Structure 1
């Protein structure tokens, strides 16, 4: 079936002319004559059945329809250019995966491990885009997403294949300086953990996460601790922001343990209590269930390898602390 789209040449001429507001400058950029560019614009207007430019004293001006159209087609022309560059660079043997990921998971867990992906699969180029909002494959054109959510959300997400990565185990952490400031006699129960009493815990200032305003209330309820001001404290959007605030002794924060492994090992953060909040949220790698590429299968396999490696490291560190 013939697609109802104009020629690529006319679109390129239109985009360049819209950028320069000049057929002459567009022609110079595209190594064409001014008259050839003008003919391509005329063909485009004939195809659309409307004008995209009006003649001006020193060139051309976009019509309202032209302004809307150039804004709409620009991302697709850029995408075509990127796809062409990718296939040329990889000689058809690899390519690019565009992965949507929540910000803190990207910076704290995924990025430090990507050198091993490059070593194992040099033919794959990864493009990461972060968002705190739900990922929509059709709208954002992601190849896959790393998503933190519930099993119910996954079950009601049509047209996707989900790979479970890990549970979200959230722990209360703060700087050891904060504990010493409030409770100078407190002693750690291990290298990076205290077991503060309920009376002590309710005295520490809290750091809140903007996107999860009830998280402290959930943790205190799970521990059967009465805290009348569990909703008070500085608010930050990302776990990474909470971690920085907590390391500077600004308060106690609830953060997934896997995202603060470095701070815990360096003793920049310590557990204020060893009781985690085992929430309903889990981390999944999600992609379309249709036309799964060999590159995607390799990426899924690599993610599973990295999870096993992380679990082995955590078990080793726990063994060393006990002995």
Structure 2
């Protein structure tokens, strides 16, 4: 239920306030909004009168946010951003039925993007907006409907639908493998290893799976799979990468197995969403489609 109207300032008042707060200038805000300085000043004064709170300190020809005004500006800026995004989404798909989905960058570009056209073709009128996110977030304070998540469940209040298991394989460039004479898994103890910041213990788990004792494992650190794959292809080190996301590189020889060890199972991928969003038609349709797509291709040998 919306609060009483007296607590809902008009859009014009909020826009004037946000512009002045962001630019720190009545003049700049007026230029941005196509208004006169006096009009912007009147709108801010009207907002302060409606709220009963001083939002700015006036110092000669300058303005500065009060402590209360600074906090209010942050909230209003986010609210206006969400209204703007909702309007853009509606204009892009006026028939409605838009799914706002968070995806992991490499999974989104390598696995989902090449297939999403089949979903759209099967569901005319629906649209999908993809946003990359590396970490879990709170759906209650975001505009996203769902997220494709890897690893242990860290989504308080969210419902998780299992999608697929991941398996990783140690890979490197062909020149790198020949330079270090790699063959057995233990050979990788003596070469530069590339690490993913979100999975700092990946190599430790891999060596433990191979029953190989190890000391500290050092090497370059990366924040995304795409960058670590490029580094491995450039011969900077060996990397642990999801098998099914590097089929292209393995097929053309850009990357090769760094040892004779089989792929190692890690964790799984889930579709996360709030329970009260589960029946939203675009999300329900997408959930059914992606599960069918995965089943149709057979359980992939890995994920990321």
Give TM-score, length-normalised by structure 2.
Answer: 0.82
**Residue 189 of structure 1: aligned partner:** none
Kindly indicate whether the alpha-carbon contact (under 8 Å) linking 2:171 and 2:238 is maintained by their aligned counterparts in 1: yes
CA apart distance, 1:295: 1.2
**Residue 133 of structure 1: aligned partner:** 135
**Residue 300 of structure 1: aligned partner:** 287
Q: Which residue of the other structure, out of 203, 218, 222, is the alignment partner of 1:216?
A: 203
Q: Max radius of gyration: which structure?
A: 1
CA apart distance, 1:169: 0.6
**Residue 169 of structure 2: aligned partner:** 171
Q: Could you say what secondary structure the match of 2:113 adopts?
A: helix
Q: Find out whether 1:269 has 2:272 as its counterpart.
A: no
CA apart distance, 1:35: 5.9
In 2, the alpha carbon distance for the partners of 1:130 and 1:48 equals: 37
Cα deviation 1:171-225 (Å, max 9, x = unaligned) = 1112222222233xx8xxxxxxxxx335544444322233323222222222222
**Residue 80 of structure 1: aligned partner:** 83
CA apart distance, 1:87: 2.6
Q: Find out whether 1:47 has 2:57 as its counterpart.
A: no
Q: Could you say what secondary structure the match of 2:115 adopts?
A: helix
Kindly indicate whether the alpha-carbon contact (under 8 Å) linking 1:87 and 1:95 is maintained by their aligned counterparts in 2: no
Unaligned runs of 5+ in 2: none
Instruction: Give the direction of change, closer, same or farther, for the CA distance of 1:59–1:124 in structure 2 (3 Å limit).
Output: farther
**Any residues of structure 2 matched to 1:6-155 within 5 Å, and which?**
6-19=9-22, 37-58=40-61, 60-91=63-94, 93-121=95-123, 123-150=125-152, 153=153
Kindly indicate whether the alpha-carbon contact (under 8 Å) linking 2:25 and 2:63 is maintained by their aligned counterparts in 1: yes
Give TM-score, length-normalised by structure 1.
Answer: 0.78
CA apart distance, 1:255: 1.2
Instruction: Give the direction of change, closer, same or farther, for the CA distance of 1:85–1:218 in structure 2 (3 Å limit).
Output: closer
CA apart distance, 1:141: 3.6
Cα deviation 1:141-174 (Å, max 9, x = unaligned) = 4211111113xx36xx443222211101111112
In 1, the alpha carbon distance for the partners of 2:24 and 2:195 equals: 50
Instruction: Give the direction of change, closer, same or farther, for the CA distance of 1:226–1:19 in structure 2 (3 Å limit).
Output: closer
Larger deviation: 291-300 or 49-58?
Answer: 49-58
Number of residue pairs aligned between Structure 1 and Structure 2:
296
CA RMSD of aligned residues (A): 3.1
Unaligned runs of 5+ in 1: 187-195, 315-323
CA apart distance, 1:297: 1.3
Kindly indicate whether the alpha-carbon contact (under 8 Å) linking 1:135 and 1:145 is maintained by their aligned counterparts in 2: no
CA apart distance, 1:52: 1.7
